[in-house]
């Protein structure tokens, strides 16, 4: 149950980072450092999400 909650939280954080990146792109333009930081955070969250998914399937809680 905890793994499902963690996956949901990471996914929502990824969506928030995506929304922030769009806002930074529209407000600051394409040369923004905040846009790059948002992308880095989103890539890190995607990696964490993949790790959680693999771990959940490995333990048998997701499949």
Domain segments of the chain: what residues?
2-58
Please report the pLDDT score of residue 37 as a whole number: 92
Does this model's pTM top 0.95? My answer is: no
Min mean pLDDT across 15-24, 26-35, 49-58 is at 26-35
Rounded-to-integer distance, Cα 18 and Cα 39, Å: 8
Q: What is the mean pLDDT of residues 26-40?
A: 87
Q: What is the mean pLDDT of residues 22-51?
A: 91
Per-residue pLDDT at 29 exceeds 90: no
Please report the pLDDT score of residue 38 as a whole number: 92
Note whether 7 and 49 are within 8 A (CB): yes
21-32: string of b/e by CB count within 10 Å (b at 16+)? beebeeeeeeee
Residue 21's contacts (CB-CB under 8 Å, 6 or more residues apart) are 35, 38, 39, 42
């Amino acid at each position: 149950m905890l793994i499902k909650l963690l996956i949901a939280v990471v996914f929502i954080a990824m969506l928030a980072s995506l929304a922030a990146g769009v806002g930074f792109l529209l407000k600051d333009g394409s040369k923004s450092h905040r846009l790059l930081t948002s992308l880095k955070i989103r890539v890190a969250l995607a990696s964490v999400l993949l790790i959680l998914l693999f771990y959940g399937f490995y333990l048998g809680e997701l499949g």
